[in-house]
Structure 1
Amino acid sequence: MKLLESVLDLLFPPKCPFCGKILDHPGICPVCKSTLPWILEGETLWELPSGVRCAAPLWYEDLARKGLLRLKFHGVCAAAEPLGALIAQCAAEHFSGEFDTVTWVPVSSKRLRQRGYDQAELLARSACRLWHVKPERLLSKRTDTPAQSSLEDAAARRQNVRDIYQAQSAAGKRILLVDDICTTGSTLAECARTLMSAGAESVLCVAVARTPQEKVHSSVKE
């Protein structure tokens, strides 16, 4: 196994998810780590309008935005490993002992065919590998809808995701719900609502990055 890993590292060396620099091991290069838009400790945890608690380590701007776009739209799937590690650390800091299973916000079947992967699933699987567990596929997206990023109105974003997710039985589960980016929180809130309707005891949310609220309000009007 170590020989195989060495060969794979030679053919596909680990790279920084933000600048693409080749590294000795999976992670974030020191330069990017020092310049990333880290959220200050007191702001990493907040509540969605629905009351669901959510956490994220980074603001969705500058290098963080660049890295997530590389993962989401440019096929840089390897970025999910170090980004998933950020999610794992953030969840451990804020929600340790409060969840017993992990799932993710799914893309639609059409989007999955087009892209070839689900970035939130990759992030969830990466985080779970550090905990030596596997995430559960608890949600599916029943219909393909316009991307949330294409909608500027917050009400339109809420309507865009209303009743489009379906959950397997989540009876009694305490769930950590993973996504890549939280802007208005409409998608996470709707997925959490769907899981609670399916019997979940509780739902907590974690994302790699959160859009600064002043930018949400300047571009997304209630």
Structure 2
Amino acid sequence: MILDLFFPNRCIHCNRIIDADLLACSLCFEQIHFTHFDYFTENIIKERCKLLFPVENTYALMKFEENGLSRKLIHELKYKSRENAGKTLAGWTTERLDFKEEKPDMLVSVPLHPKKMKERGYNQLHLFTETLSAFYNIPFDHELVKRNHYSKAQALKDKKHRLETVNPFSISKSISGKHILLIDDVFTTGNTVSSIAWEILNAGDNRVSVLVMSVDA
């Protein structure tokens, strides 16, 4: 392709020219700290979630490190118009996560407010979620959860402001008796997933598990 010739894809870490469908070169890929969590047993996300809401299972693909490659990957996905990075991250997830015989009933990603969606042009979690849906044969619903308020990104808020946010989400339709896998990019305080989880739990006899691209450990 002519565009590939004049604007070659480069590793997001070392800037080396790489294949068009890659995010990082092989050397930099080795620097990504994958968690190797077991979805069904105790891990740091489950420990934190248990303090906030009843949770079934939890999983994180990577450890989020301020100066590490995982942060660059998430930044490229969210702020650099690299929506297709979500598909790559989903591929890495499917290589490592096995639901065995206990697949959730539905995949639900954290929504953006319509204004933020218009500004960014896409929800960074949608392609990631849809790729997982196709691989595991689990339906997804991008409309189940609505964000009620427009606000700046969680990463740009101080901790006190994050804790003061009240009822930022709501459920748009009736749902009961389902095991929902809630998907987000970075797990920090857990307040975002907790807010959504309680809406899902209070909507009916539902259960909630959590999957994130990275966890701030």
Task: Give TM-score, length-normalised by structure 1.
Answer: 0.77
Q: Read off the aligned partner of 2:169 and give its amino acid letter.
A: Y
Q: Read off the aligned partner of 1:58 and give its amino acid letter.
A: M
Kept in 2, the 8 Å contact 1:158–1:187? The answer is no
Of 143, 154, 159, which residue of structure 2 is paired with 1:148?
154
Kept in 2, the 8 Å contact 1:44–1:56? The answer is no
CA distance in 2: counterparts of 1:18 and 1:206, whole angstroms: 25
Q: Does 1:165 align with 2:165?
A: no
Kept in 1, the 8 Å contact 2:36–2:96? The answer is no
Of 72, 77, 96, which residue of structure 1 is paired with 2:78?
72
Question: Which residue of structure 2 lines up, in the alignment, with residue 199 of structure 1?
Answer: 204
CA distance in 1: counterparts of 2:205 and 2:93, whole angstroms: 21
RMSD of aligned alpha carbons: 3.1
Q: Could you tell me the percent identity over the aligned residues?
A: 24
Shift of 1:96: 5.3
Pairwise mapping of residues 200-215 of structure 1 onto structure 2 (< 5 A)?
Answer: 200-212=205-217
Shift of 1:158: 2.9
Structure 1 residue runs without a partner (length 5+):
1-5, 213-222
Kept in 1, the 8 Å contact 2:45–2:215? The answer is no
Question: Which residue of structure 2 lines up, in the alignment, with residue 55 of structure 1?
Answer: 59
Q: Does 1:46 align with 2:49?
A: no
Q: Read off the aligned partner of 1:198 and give its amino acid letter.
A: A
Question: Which residue of structure 2 lines up, in the alignment, with residue 215 of structure 1?
Answer: none
Structure 2 residue runs without a partner (length 5+):
none
Pairwise mapping of residues 55-134 of structure 1 onto structure 2 (< 5 A)?
Answer: 55-61=59-65, 62-92=68-98, 97-134=102-139
Q: Which has the higher helix share?
A: 1
CA distance in 1: counterparts of 2:178 and 2:163, whole angstroms: 25
Q: Does 1:31 align with 2:27?
A: yes
Shift of 1:130: 1.7
Kept in 2, the 8 Å contact 1:120–1:178? The answer is yes
